[in-house]
Amino acid sequence: MQRSEFDRIVESLRSSDPSQVDRVLNQEKMIFWFEDITAEACLFYDVTRRGCLIYPARPLVCRLFGRVEWLPCPMERSLRLIQGWKDLLDTYAKERRATFTEWCTEAGIFDFRQFTRAAG
């Protein structure tokens, strides 16, 4: 993700109900699909309510699910495909990207409780 996406996510977390942020960020994220298949859900996926904690601030990769041929919707919804997605990704790829954890380290965020405190 880009730094601007990270900043939007942090702002979203800080403006959310602290008890909900704490509940979702501290959930067990290993989910069972079927038989012996498990997967680790996204940090922001609410496994109890089956939704995204940061949906309005979600990064581009999440916004593309179901909107480009190579990222089908995991919920099998039929969505309108984005035209010109290759140009969009070319532009996106020109900026520095890092994982959420890497951005947290760079921003000095080492504890999830920092998300529910005012920036300072």
Ranges of each domain in the chain: 3-116
Task: Work out the pLDDT band at 102, boundaries 50, 70, 90.
Answer: very high
Confidence at 120, pLDDT banded by 50, 70, 90: very low
Mean pLDDT across the chain: 86
Residue 117 — pLDDT band, cuts 50, 70, 90? low
What pLDDT, on a 0 to 100 scale, did the predictor assign at position 64? 85
What's the alpha-carbon Rg for the chain, to the nearest Å? 16
Per-residue pLDDT band for 74 (boundaries 50, 70, 90) equals low
pLDDT at residue 78, as a whole number:
72
Put residue 51 in one of left, alpha, beta given phi > 0 → left and psi -120 to 50 → alpha.
beta
**What is the three-class DSSP state of 38?**
strand
* pTM assigned to the model: 0.80
Strands (E), 35-113: 37-40, 45-46, 51-52
More confident call, 44 vs 39: 44
pLDDT band at 119 (very low <50, low <70, confident <90, very high): very low
Q: Which residues contact 43 (CB under 8 A, 6 or more apart)?
A: 25, 29, 100
Average pLDDT over residues 12-39: 89
Q: Does the pLDDT value for residue 13 go beyond 90?
A: yes
